[in-house]
Amino acid sequence: MFGGAALFVAGSWLVSRRLAARLVSATGLGPTADRRKELLAALSGAADRVEELRHAGSALDPVELVATFASPGDPERRPTLLFLHGKGGAASEWEEDALRAIALGYNVLLPDLRGHGRSGGRYMTFGFLEKDDLANAIAAARERWNIDPHRLGIHSCSAGSSIALELAANRTGVRALWLESPFADPREMARHYLSAATGIPAPFLSLATRWAVSRTLSGVKRDLGLERVAGGLEHADPVAALERVRCPVLLVYGDEDRLVPPRFVERLIEALPPGSAVFRAAGAGHCHHPNEAAVVAREEYRRRWTEFFGRNLPVPG
């Protein structure tokens, strides 16, 4: 009996080591449909200007990254909403939200995060490199369309929320932050993710995952030649980042979310800055899934979204 348990744990360790690399890849738990053509068609029908933005990533790994920009016109007069997808996602997931934003008078910037879609890069780093990537995207958009970098809002989904927090913690120009399906502890999330990917109960993966994740994250820095750079994925802490955020936050989660269970947001809720709010969507699952809050609680979701950005990031006129 003991031998069988030992073999099971050893097998779990080997599986978690093999799959830990997925944590920093652009692969999600399921395939993501490529809907870029549909996104561009929808934006072209709603906006005065739709253009592609290509720019360099972080100086630590300056790959070419791609984003889509759209504006109702006169982009220099308007605030800009930045939409950040999750692991395995793509900019095209934001079609409905981007159309809502344009109809309300916002510019929108829809990046394919590094390693995803049309953007280069081998790894997703949960904000370590992406905060610089996005700072470069904002600077490029300012140079090209004269957008105001001090009037920004962010709407993020899942792992994109960790990136949003890192960006907002380091930028005074972010005025409003809509975090959807976020998680507080990357290590706890890693165990849960690998359990979902393998079917192995999370308790059996605990020690194996800790070792495998540590080795994987160290390997990313080594592969990128960043061994001497302070910080990194192994120090990722969404709660610490949120404690440095000064703008209002609206934290959204579904009480039926199986990918990021509700208990994963508790520490984030405790760290919210003044003027923030929590939207617990009854019966809703994970963002950009069929039972997401935007579907299950459609009218309340749209009302809260419109009021939150309208109050904290108003459109002139």
The tokens describing 233, both together, are 């994925």
**What is the distance of C-alpha 28 from the center of its chain?**
13
Tokens 């999600």, located at residue: 28
R_g of the chain computed on alpha carbons: 19
The predicted model gives 150-163 an average pLDDT of 97
Q: Residue 11: is its pLDDT beyond 70?
A: no
pTM of the predicted protein model: 0.91
pLDDT band with cut points at 50, 70 and 90 for residue 222: confident
Q: What is the pLDDT of residues 94-131, one digit of tens each?
A: 999 999 999 999 999 999 999 999 999 988 888 989 99
Are the CB atoms for 248 and 176 separated by under 8 Å? Answer: yes
CATH superfamily of 33-185+232-312: Alpha/Beta hydrolase fold, catalytic domain (3.40.50.1820)
pLDDT band with cut points at 50, 70 and 90 for residue 290: very high
pLDDT band with cut points at 50, 70 and 90 for residue 1: very low
Q: For residue 317, what pLDDT is reported?
A: 80
Distance CA 93, CA 116 (A): 12
The predicted model gives 32-40 an average pLDDT of 88
- Of 158, 179, 159, 160, nearest in space to 245 by CA: 179
**What is the distance of C-alpha 252 from the center of its chain?**
13
Angle ∠(281,282,284) on CA atoms, nearest 5? 70
Q: Residue 233: is its pLDDT beyond 90?
A: no
Q: Residue 5: is its pLDDT beyond 60?
A: no
Say which residues have a Cβ less than 8 Å from residue 10's Cβ, sequence separation at least 6. none
Lowest mean pLDDT among 194-198, 251-255, 278-282: 194-198
Cα distances (angstroms) measured from residue 121 to each of 148, 162, 222: 28, 18, 15
Cα distances (angstroms) measured from residue 56 to each of 80, 133, 140, 290: 20, 7, 9, 34
Q: What is the mean pLDDT of the chain?
A: 88
The tokens describing 90, both together, are 């793509």
* Boundaries of every domain in the chain: 33-185+232-312
